[in-house]
Amino acid sequence: QVQLVESGGGSAQVGGSLILSCAASERTFSIYTMAWFRLVPGKEREFVAAISPSGSSTGYVDSVTGRFTISRDIAKNTVYLQMNSLQPEDTASYYCAAVQTRSSWLPRAPGEYDYWGQGTQVTVSS
């Protein structure tokens, strides 16, 4: 089992920044596409960003493009989500997810991912 642990959530003002981290227990971290999803109660889990195993490819949902940046440190088995220009609509529980792949596959459907973290809350207020 791949264990994923998120950290870095908290509260921020509109226009502020936060950085989330996801630490993976898997020693072969470099063969997994990693992604961030977010969840608001009563709504469907929403894709936020994904990064390929090598880090060479990334993808973002339109609403965060230009504001959020996903990156990974293979040596540290860690993926990050840098969130800038935060808006109230970014308030959600954020989850890290992983799926093994041999390519730069960047799925956006939650059902494509095999491993999930416990979530970390992000709250943005004015």
Bridge partners (DSSP) listed for residue 15: none
> pLDDT by residue for the chain (126 residues), tens digit each?
789 999 999 999 999 999 999 999 877 778 999 999 999 999 999 999 999 999 999 999 999 999 999 999 988 999 999 999 999 999 999 999 999 998 899 999 999 999 999 999 999 998
pLDDT of residue 26: 73
Instruction: Write out the two tokens for 23.
Output: 């630490």
pLDDT of residue 37: 98
Report strand pairing: 18-24 vs 78-83.
antiparallel
Instruction: Write out the two tokens for 13.
Output: 């003002």
Q: CA-to-CA distance for 119 and 70, rounded, in angstroms? A: 16
pLDDT of residue 125: 95
52 touches 117 (CB < 8 A): no
Q: CA-to-CA distance for 82 and 89, rounded, in angstroms? A: 16
